[in-house]
């Protein structure tokens, strides 16, 4: 059982470039989300989805887009990368129950120069 798979593991971008961080889960989870982790800031929610075709903004959505065309996939798009988006990005999923824990991928470390 693969769980939550994120690709790539590492990425370096130049300011202004765009890219997509991939996230896939094989647990048939309804809920998926993207967080960024920065030193001293903990985890901050970027976007989330409660099911295919439904997405919503989290705390820090600016500069990022998401879509949820299937239950399994939840890609995160950086439209025009900025140095402030240098971070470690985590995708996570869970069932719809509030007692259900989040399952995290291993993260993508992004550097924007």
Partner 1 sequence: GNSVTQMEGPVTLSEEAFLTINCTYTATGYPSLFWYVQYPGEGLQLLLKATKADDKGSNKGFEATYRKETTSFHLEKGSVQVSDSAVYFCALNTGANSKLTFGKGITLSVRP
Quote the least distance from Cβ 3 to partner 1, whole Å: 9
HSE-up of 94 (CA within 13 Å, CB side)?
Answer: 12
Is 36 or 85 the residue whose CB approaches partner 1 more closely?
36
* Stretch 59-88: interaction string toward partner 1, x if CB under 8 A: ------------------------------
For tokens 């961080």, the residue is: 21
DSSP string across 14-56:
-TT--EEEEEEESS--SEEEEEEEETTTEEEEEEEEEETTEEE
Q: Does 42 engage in binding with partner 1 (CB under 8 A)?
A: yes
The contact set with partner 1 (CB under 8 A) reads 4, 31, 33, 40-43, 45, 48, 50, 58, 90, 92, 96-99, 101-107
């Amino acid at each position: 059982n693969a769980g939550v798979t994120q690709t790539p593991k590492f990425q370096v971008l130049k300011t202004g470039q765009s890219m997509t961080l991939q996230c896939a889960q094989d647990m048939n989870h309804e809920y998926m989300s993207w967080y960024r982790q920065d030193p001293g800031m903990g985890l901050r929610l970027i976007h989330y989805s409660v099911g295919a075709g439904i997405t919503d903004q989290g705390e820090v959505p600016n500069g990022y887009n998401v879509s949820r065309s299937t239950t399994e996939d939840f890609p995160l798009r950086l439209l025009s990368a900025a140095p402030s988006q240098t971070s470690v990005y985590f995708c996570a999923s869970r069932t719809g129950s509030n007692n259900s824990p989040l399952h995290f991928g291993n993260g993508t470390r992004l550097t924007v120069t």
